[in-house]
Structure 1
């Protein structure tokens, strides 16, 4: 690993995936993440120390979720500028440590969920949700749980929609190589295809009672 290369600035998801050693990782709506399966909580916790070492080495601030079923390691997007340029080196180091510990990567389980709050074009509901949920602003349009445990919110105006009516849908960000299977599973479970005009970037689905869900893969391939 070339320690002399510049790791400042920002990169795209496509640039992240072109880096060596990151095949375990996928980029969702909240940034690069990897899921490593484990047989016990103790086994999963063994990865925490190597993650801390890699975070310090590459100046990355990751999120780590340790469960008996496995470990989720994320490089959270704290800005819309892009993925930290040091993220691929951090990711490769974590994957190497996980392999040494016998923790198997399972990219099929990588995902993040976002809630898109639709609002009348003359309304600004973000202050209400910030206050009600204890969230913080992210950029000019989004809101985020300060500890990044809850789903990220985005606020999208509906031009011409009736005032006092809000319509909200879920965005489920999955790996690009898993998106079609997730769509097929949702349709088989009673869902309805609303539009595939933007596929394979995302598919718009509706539940049997017409709640909206977008299955989104574009974050994993963005360039």
Structure 2
């Protein structure tokens, strides 16, 4: 390993040189540590920030009560690099100095795939209804959450329709005071409202090929 250079790494290469508990998941390095309290977690995060500033390379940090969750990737390269592994190993050292244990919960990521006959026709609907931006994988026409918190969406080309089953279904939970704006954006982008029977608890929409999504709020169904 050559310090904090941004030489690209394959997932296999990163796995071979990164310290435990870091794992490669969906082309990113991920790890989580048990801190026991938010105060202890904040102390850990402060040390991570110092190391990140020194390396001029920065992780995504999720501070929760009792744990800290971390993700590393080189955004400018759209992949893992030596800089990610170097900082991950430095963070592992910080955790060891603080006697922090890795979180036992499994580290996972989720992606959502949509089978489509005409990807260009339905992609604008999904981008509008989810509020996503263009992702890095152009070949799969990927859409990504701008905040980096929700699953990415990619599209798979179909050779022929499969009317016997719905090819995907989403439940998207939104603040109750934002759902109507999102609903209108989805319809404007080519979507259709299938049912508002259960509104304002949820609305059922679909794109032009029938792939469905429910826009959900905390509110209860009105009679």
| Superposition TM-score, scaled by structure 1 size | 0.65
Out of 75-84 and 101-110, give the one that drifted further. Answer: 75-84
1:127 corresponds in structure 2 to 124
Residues 201-220 of structure 1: matches in 2 within 5 Å?
Answer: none
Cα contact 1:118–1:166 (8 A) shared by 2: no
1:55 to 52, 55, 59: 52
1:84 paired residue among 72, 81, 84: 81
1:137 aligns with 2:134: yes
Q: 3-state SS of the aligned residue for 1:112?
A: coil
Note the aligned Cα RMSD (angstroms).
Answer: 2.6
What's the TM-score, normalizing by structure 2? 0.65
- Whole-Å separation in 2 of the counterparts to 1:49 and 1:30: 26
Give the CA deviation at 1:148.
0.5
Bigger Rg, which one:
2
Q: For 2:119 and 2:145, how far apart are their aligned partners in 1? A: 25
Which of residues 108, 111, 122 in structure 1 aligns to 2:108? Answer: 111
- For the residue of structure 2 that corresponds to 1:47, the secondary structure is helix
CA separation of 1:122 and 1:152: change in aligned 2, threshold 3 A: closer
Q: CA deviation at 1:58?
A: 2.4
Unpaired segments of 5 or more residues in structure 2?
Answer: 171-223
Deviations 1:85-144 (A, max 9, x none): 211110011111112222211365211111112222465322222221111101312111
Aligned counterparts of 1:46 and 1:167: Cα–Cα separation in 2: 46
**In the comparison of the two structures, how many residue pairs are matched?**
166
Counterparts of 1:129 and 1:77, CA distance in 2: 26
Change (3 A) 1:95 1:6: closer
1:161 pairs with 2:158: no
CA distance in 1, matches of 2:160, 2:56: 46
Q: Mean alpha-carbon deviation: is it higher for 115-124 or for 22-31?
A: 115-124
Deviation at 1:76, TM superposition (A): 3.8
* Alpha-carbon displacement from aligned partner over 1:53-106 (angstroms, at most 9, x marks no partner): 222222323110111131101014637752022111100111111122222113
- Aligned match of 1:11: 9
Whether 1:95 aligns to 2:88 is no
Q: Which residue of 2 aligns with 1:147?
A: 147
Gaps of 5+ in 1: 171-223
Higher relative contact order (CA 8 A, sep 6+): 1
Equivalent residues of 1:38, 1:44 under 8 A apart: yes
